[in-house]
Amino acid sequence: MLPRFARDLGRAVVAVPGRVTSTASRGTHSLICEGVPMVRDAQDVLDTLYATAPGAKARSARQASAARSVSRLAPLARRVLELVASGADTPDRLVEKGVPLATALTALTELELAAELVRGDGGRYVPCAPCTSAAPSRL
């Protein structure tokens, strides 16, 4: 109902997904199921507002930039970024994967300063871009 009402007013509708376990996210998840564009980042908003092809050029440019950025990281930081992208998103989980705590904390800080990671809810780290390394490196 909301998308049709907004369309009648000439307004764009987008939905920002929330936690799947939260009842507060039901509405936005329903909109996404109905075909409303999902907002993952600022580029998605720009694509919707300016009706470009859904991020085709911008995303490929960002992915190329991310690939260059990741390749400039120290091997250990790159490995930690890969581990975070694969689910080891807290210092404790990195330690469980064999990364010494001091090393994990240092690499997480380096990755935050390099704008490769952000700290999310509950102290979990989230990559800012898809991890583009071809193969995981060894510690």
Answer whether residue 93 shows pLDDT above 90.
Answer: yes
Answer whether residue 128 shows pLDDT above 70.
Answer: yes
63-115-75 Cα angle (round to 5): 80
pTM exceeds 0.85 for this model = no
| pLDDT given for residue 71 in this prediction | 59
| pLDDT given for residue 75 in this prediction | 87
Predicted confidence band of residue 98 (pLDDT cuts 50, 70, 90)? very high
Residue type (1 letter), 70: V
Quick one: DSSP state of residue 135? S
Angle between helix 101-113 and helix 75-85 axes, rounded to 10 deg? 90
